[in-house]
Amino acid sequence: MDLLAKALPDGRVLTDPDVTDSYSRDRTFLTPGAALGVVLAQSRDDVIETMRWATAHRVPVVPRGAGTGLAGGATASEGCVVLSVAKMAQIKELSPADEIAVVEPGVITADLDAAAREHGLMYAPDPSSYEISTVGGNLATNAGGLRCVKYGVTRDSALGLEVVLADGQVLNTGRRTVKGVTGYDLTGLFVGSEGTLGVITSATVRLRRAPLVPPATIAAEFTSLRDAASAVSAIIAAGCQPSLLELLDRATLKAIDDWRNIGLEAGVAAMLIAQSDATDGQTAARRMHDLCMENGASFVAVSDSPAETEELIGIRRMAYSAKERLGNCLVEDVCVPRSALPDMMTAIEAAAAKHDVLICTVAHAGDGNLHPVFVFDHGVPEPPQNVWDAADEVFRTALDLGGTLTGEHGVGLLKRRWLELETGPLASGINAGIKKVFDPLGILNPGKAI
């Protein structure tokens, strides 16, 4: 570490164990390995120098943004260097004419969106952690969020990347144009690669026109979770094109109510929050209202009040923090075809009862992306066996329904035990071959993602 510290400007390298430990964790319960030190990169050159040193000395490197990940992807491995890019936080360019921005990886997602809105634009990816997560971390996991039902996931907004490879070489992928098919899609390859192929130091991202009118929002309550999921399927099938479609089960609502007193009534098994940001959003909202009633809603309200909308979305964004108050959390994010959402929700309820586990579920329901959170005691460092058994049942059911192990959080460390159930040996071998091309020594975020 002394040689690296000498090669970088003063203050870039931290080695105090208490400090390095604070940079070694994400939002999971996982216990990190002991890192040799932390590099606080402030420029691409800092990243290049770090990767050259790591290659020369065969030292693993764990790239890190804000540490908001939920799959263990940024957890330090034993004897690694944690490479933090959180201080690389400049919006280098924002072009209203081309509807693009060029940003460093440490830019907070909400800050980019706010900057875009000054020009009548928006940055579409909208993870629940948007106020604290970084663009680089969103790219690393291909994050989705609340608006992805209409605008897509992070990959759909990524046009080009600047990436420092394992040996310190700089690779530029993609372009500034919306269209382009020259060569393989290396941008798409790096998005979602969880820091295992290179370190993103700059990104050219697509911006969208911000809605011209406040969105029309509906909130629907159901006495049956399956009915709420059926309403989601009906809304999608009817072509309502919501810009947001979120589902919260009773366990989640109760956790929020116990914390913030939202007035949860007895008998409410689920809440559905939907929006349309189209110019004729009220028409779409009324149609969604009717579909909810036809599918068993006990109460539905429609509003275009910005204050009411923010209050409802605020309830959704509080979900994970409310669950963290209950205990340690194993957070998953299976995704199934949208028509299979009722069956998946039913299966999660059954797994919770069968294995005696508290599972609080929210869903980006319009995408079929569910976040079942398995809650266990704060005093237990690892999930007990009944939690793993319940999770195993949920994952296998998602795959049986034609779904996937992860919609947006990534594989990280937590899902590797199930990975081959989805990929199979041939795809696993190809993934390992791709990894070897970009990282022949295996020093970039080893043990994660594949």
Averaged pLDDT, 218-247: 96
Closest-CA residue to 361 (of 259, 231, 230, 269): 269
Sign of CA dihedral 442, 36, 200, 412: positive
- CATH 3.30.70.2740, the chain: domain bounds: 326-435
pLDDT at residue 447 greater than cutoff 90:
yes
Q: Using DSSP, state whether 235 is helix, strand or coil.
A: helix
Q: What pLDDT is attached to residue 381?
A: 87
- CATH 3.30.43.10, the chain: domain bounds: 2-84
* Distant-in-sequence, close-in-space partners of 136: CB < 8 Å, separation ≥ 6: 63, 65, 85, 88, 104, 105, 106, 107, 200, 203
Domain 213-318 has CATH 3.50.50.60: no
Residue range 91-209, CATH number: 3.30.465.10
Averaged pLDDT, 429-433: 96
Residue range 326-435, CATH number: 3.30.70.2740
Q: What pLDDT is attached to residue 286?
A: 96
Q: What pLDDT is attached to residue 97?
A: 97
Q: What pLDDT is attached to residue 25?
A: 95
Which tokens sit at 286? 């009324």
Phi, psi of 206 (to 5 degrees): -80, 135
pLDDT level of residue 62 (50, 70, 90 thresholds) = very high
Q: What is the pTM of this model?
A: 0.94
Considering only the top CATH level, what class is 2-84?
alpha beta
Q: What pLDDT is attached to residue 197?
A: 98
Q: What pLDDT is attached to residue 321?
A: 93
Among 302-306, 358-362, 446-450, which stretch is predicted with the lowest mean pLDDT?
A: 302-306
- Neighbour tally for 312: CB within 10 Å: 23
Give the whole-number percent of the chain exceeding pLDDT 70: 100
Residue 450 contacts residue 433 (beta carbons within 8 Å): no
Give the model confidence (pLDDT) of 18-60 as tens digits: 999 999 999 999 999 999 999 999 999 999 999 999 999 999 9
For the CA atoms of 194, 196, 199, 205, the dihedral, rounded to the nearest 10 degrees, stands at -40
- CATH 3.30.465.10, the chain: domain bounds: 91-209
Which tokens sit at 326? 């209950």
pLDDT at residue 244 greater than cutoff 90:
yes
Q: What pLDDT is attached to residue 135?
A: 98
pLDDT at residue 236 greater than cutoff 90:
yes
Give the model confidence (pLDDT) of 375-426 as tens digits: 999 989 899 999 999 999 999 999 999 999 999 999 999 999 999 999 999 9
Indicate left, alpha or beta for 22 from its phi (over 0: left) and psi (-120 to 50: alpha): alpha
Closest-CA residue to 219 (of 196, 242, 187, 199): 242
Which residue in this structure is represented by tokens 């820091």?
195
pLDDT at residue 304 greater than cutoff 90:
no
pLDDT at residue 148 greater than cutoff 90:
yes
- CATH 3.30.70.2190, the chain: domain bounds: 213-318
